[in-house]
Amino acid sequence: MSRGTLIDLLYLVSATTFIIALKGLGSPKRARLGNGIAAAGMLLAVVATFFKQVDGHSLYHVGLILVAMAIGVIVAVPTARFVRMTAMPQLVAIFNGVGGGAAALVSITEFVHIHSTRPATYVTLEVLLGVLIGTVSFSGSAIAFAKLQELMTGRPVTYPGQQIINAILGVAGLVLIIVILVNGQTTLLWVLLALAFVLGIAFVLPIGGADVPVLISLLNSFTGLAVAASGFTLGSNLLIVAGTLVGASGILLTRLMSKAMGRSLSNVLFSAFGSVVTASGGTGADARPVRSGSPEDAGVLLSFASRVAIIPGYGLAVAQAQHVLRELAEELEKKGIEVFYAIHPVAGRMPGHMNVLLAEANVPYELLLELDEANSELQTADVALVVGANDTVNPAAKDDKSSPIYGMPIIAADLAENVLFLKRSMRPGFAGIENELLYSPKTTLIFGDAKDTLTKIVAAVKAS
Amino acid sequence: MGNALLQYATVLMLTIFVGIEIIAKVPSILHTPLMSGSNAIHGVILVGAMLILGSANTTLEEVLGFLAVVLATLNVVGGFVVTDRMLEMFKAKPKAPPAKKDEVTS
């Protein structure tokens, strides 16, 4: 067997591990194993590549390749290891973005490399698609990162004629591709690159912070497609298989995620969701009476309950209060009070994010109830303790047909006898929508930092 | 249009169906790790980046190829490490309940 055949065989093994890995990632038991298998397959492919012959010679610049890899590893490992769990979504965004950038660079460089040999039209097309999709994914992910990291506003950024301008940008990209295919002018490739960069930004700007995770999933899928396009150009089955797998499964995953929020994908992408209500929600709300209480009041209320539902949201994670929350739950359990956690599918900022955060704080898995189960249990709960959640308990999703979140499944906190709302201020949540539950006679608001307030409540519960 | 192109197109078509089929039923708590894991898998562009830099003839190609390898490595390594860290959180769960109950009753 020749060396080339052996390497191709190893690539086949590697591609197979990716399929097995994706399958494993879909099941709670085998997910971690799946990830490990994919990593092993990746290592195999990379090592095999060092021995590959290209254009009839062994790889040039092996030293440079190793240096570049070392730089990547030195930056990536500490970043991935030590960034706080709350920052997970933006981390995925940025790692996806660099992947898209790499795919675009590979396509560009291959084009520069083979340009003198007058490549066939379909090769040029593959290159152009790789550049377009990869670059959109790169700049789009960068904006998604900036939104999640709060380097810029998380609210949708809109301007007049936005959708028309975006449509023109998209069409311009396609026209440019056709012109390059017909004329074969390399200089226009750089124009396409710039256009794709702007398109990625323009595409992401109108998407509100709460929807960004769905968007990241879509951009993830884009990067997969860009990788597949590069695979066509380079003639690599491995890249085609891996890229297409991610591209196809990513689109499906994106649809599943928007479904979990009760919305369609096009609604997520094009409706500038949450821009309807401006940040003035705080001032408008002051006019209406709300009942606010002290942490001590809350402690007493909780101590006399027999069933308590805890509804955590992203505010809990921001305040790093998941450990204090578990402490409170344990104190209540010591008093014989039954405690459970009601977890909305999109609590936190990504589906499953809240489960990860609570697991980190050693909250027992069987106390975490998913939406439907939680809602039937809530009918018999004495107190619903809402910590840093807002939109996911907003009854407008059930009652108010005019509300932008109408139809989204919510945790029915309003079914409980009493509602305790831990909030920093009266500002509306991530989606930017008023929450009627705040004004309900059942509700007591406790203002302040979640961690602070919870610590005081724990003390109050211990004392009573 | 060569035979090679047809072969790649065949692989593409089959893989699309495999990709859709294997994640048809995923519990919502695994959506995030799945996204992150597939994010790491498209880091396989590293192989492409290595081939590009390994066949570079001009300074421009070398610079672009070098950048591509750096970015692709970030994608691969960062992707797998983040995913593993997420899934690590799920791992302890089956053991956690009995330990927790002891604590509470004692």
> Which residue bears the tokens 């919870």?
A454
- Quote the CA–CA distance of A37 and A20 in Å, as a whole number: 8
Please count the other Cβ atoms lying within 10 Å of the Cβ belonging to residue A77.
13
Cβ burial of B104 (10 Å; 0-12, 13-18, 19+) is exposed
pLDDT at A355: 81
- Quote the CA–CA distance of A236 and A409 in Å, as a whole number: 44
Q: Is the pLDDT of residue B79 over 80?
A: yes
Residue B98 confidence class, pLDDT cut points 50, 70, 90: very low
Residue A262: strand, helix, or coil: coil
The residue out of A241, A275, A309 marking a domain boundary is A275
Angle at A397 between CA A394 and CA A401, to 5 degrees: 135
Question: Which structure tokens are listed for A315?
Answer: 């505010």
Alpha-carbon distances, residue A256 vs A4, A88, A96, A285, B32 (angstroms):
41, 20, 19, 35, 11
Residue A73 is assigned to a structural domain of this protein: yes
User: Is residue A142 a contact partner of residue A157, using CB atoms and an 8 Å limit?
Assistant: no
What's the pTM value of the predicted model, to 2 decimals? 0.80
User: Is residue A90 a contact partner of residue A145, using CB atoms and an 8 Å limit?
Assistant: yes
pLDDT at B46: 97
The residue out of A59, A82, A105 marking a domain boundary is A82
Of B68 and B3, which is predicted with more confidence?
Answer: B68
Question: Which structure tokens are listed for A12?
Answer: 């086949």
pLDDT at A106: 96
What is the H or E stretch that residue A68 is in?
Answer: helix A62-82
Residue A454 is assigned to a structural domain of this protein: yes
Show which of residues 30-49 on chain B sit within 8 Å of chain A, judged by CB atoms.
30-49
Cross-chain CB nearest to A234 (options B48, B66, B100): B48
Percentages helix, strand, coil for chain B (3-state, rounded to 5) are 85, 0, 15
User: Is residue A420 a contact partner of residue A197, using CB atoms and an 8 Å limit?
Assistant: no
User: Chain A residues with CB inside 8 Å of B26's CB?
Assistant: 25-26, 253, 256
Q: Are the Cβ atoms of B94 and A365 closer than 8 angstroms?
A: yes
Same domain, A77 and A105: no
Same domain, A349 and A333: yes
CA atoms within 13 A on the CB side of B57: 10
Residue A117 CB partners (closer than 8 Å, separation 6+): none
Alpha carbon of B10: minimum distance to chain A alpha carbons (Å): 10
- Quote the CA–CA distance of A431 and A267 in Å, as a whole number: 14
Q: Is B6 on the interface with A (CB under 8 A)?
A: no
Same domain, A101 and A69: no
Write the DSSP assignment of A370-414 as a string of letters: EHHHHHHHHTT-SEEEEES--GGG-THHHH-TTSTTTT-----GG
Same domain, A408 and A359: yes
Q: Is A99 on the interface with B (CB under 8 A)?
A: yes
Q: Is the pLDDT of residue B17 over 90?
A: yes
Q: Is A175 on the interface with B (CB under 8 A)?
A: no
Q: What is the CATH number of the domain that holds A360?
A: 3.40.50.1220
Known catalytic residue at A391:
yes
B17-B15-A145-B67 Cα dihedral, nearest 10 degrees: -170
* Sign of the alpha-carbon torsion through A139, A143, A144, A146: positive
Q: Is the pLDDT of residue B102 over 90?
A: no
Residue A280 is assigned to a structural domain of this protein: no
pLDDT at A276: 46
List the single residue in A with minimal CA-CA distance to B104: A334
User: Chain A residues with CB inside 8 Å of B78's CB?
Assistant: 76-77, 79-80, 91, 94-95, 98
Residue A405 is assigned to a structural domain of this protein: yes
Question: Which structure tokens are listed for A113?
Answer: 């490399």
Max CA-CA distance within chain A? 83
Total domain count for chain A? 3
Q: Is A248 on the interface with B (CB under 8 A)?
A: yes
Q: Is B88 on the interface with A (CB under 8 A)?
A: yes
Same domain, A259 and A163: yes
Task: Report phi then psi at A131, rounded to 5.
Answer: -65, -50
Q: Is B95 on the interface with A (CB under 8 A)?
A: no
Same domain, A149 and A231: yes
Tens place of pLDDT per residue across chain A (464 aa): 788 999 999 999 999 999 999 999 888 788 899 999 999 999 999 999 999 998 888 999 999 999 999 999 999 999 999 888 778 888 999 999 999 999 999 999 998 888 878 788 888 899 999 999 999 999 999 999 998 888 888 778 888 888 889 999 999 999 999 998 888 777 888 999 999 999 999 999 988 777 888 899 999 999 999 999 999 999 999 999 999 999 999 999 898 888 777 677 888 888 766 554 433 334 444 457 788 888 988 998 999 899 999 999 888 877 888 889 999 999 999 999 999 999 987 777 777 778 878 887 888 878 888 888 889 999 999 999 999 888 888 888 888 777 777 777 889 988 998 999 898 877 766 666 778 888 888 898 888 888 889 999 999 998 87
- Quote the CA–CA distance of A401 and A89 in Å, as a whole number: 31
Same domain, A34 and A95: no
Q: Is A333 on the interface with B (CB under 8 A)?
A: yes
DSSP state of A292: B
- Quote the CA–CA distance of B81 and A78 in Å, as a whole number: 9
- Quote the CA–CA distance of A8 and A3 in Å, as a whole number: 9
Q: Are the Cβ atoms of B97 and A365 closer than 8 angstroms?
A: yes
Cross-chain CB nearest to A61 (options B56, B71, B80): B56
Alpha carbon of A394: minimum distance to chain B alpha carbons (Å): 21
User: Is residue A192 a contact partner of residue A125, using CB atoms and an 8 Å limit?
Assistant: no
Cross-chain CB nearest to B51 (options A103, A234, A248): A234
Per-domain boundaries in chain B: 26-105
Residue B45 CB partners (closer than 8 Å, separation 6+): A99, A102, A103, A106, A226, A227, A230, A239, A243, B68, B72, B75
Residue A150 CB partners (closer than 8 Å, separation 6+): none
- Quote the CA–CA distance of A434 and A283 in Å, as a whole number: 12
pLDDT tens, position by position, B4-13: 899 999 999 9
User: Is residue A108 a contact partner of residue A131, using CB atoms and an 8 Å limit?
Assistant: yes
> Which residue type occupies B75?
N
Same domain, A204 and A317: no
Same domain, A400 and A453: yes
The residue out of A49, A82, A115 marking a domain boundary is A82
Closest to B15 (Cα-Cα) out of A307, A409, A360, A240:
A240
Question: Which structure tokens are listed for A131?
Answer: 């550049």
In A53-184, which ranges are E strands? Answer: 53-54, 57-58
Host domain of residue A406: 285-463
- Quote the CA–CA distance of A19 and A38 in Å, as a whole number: 8
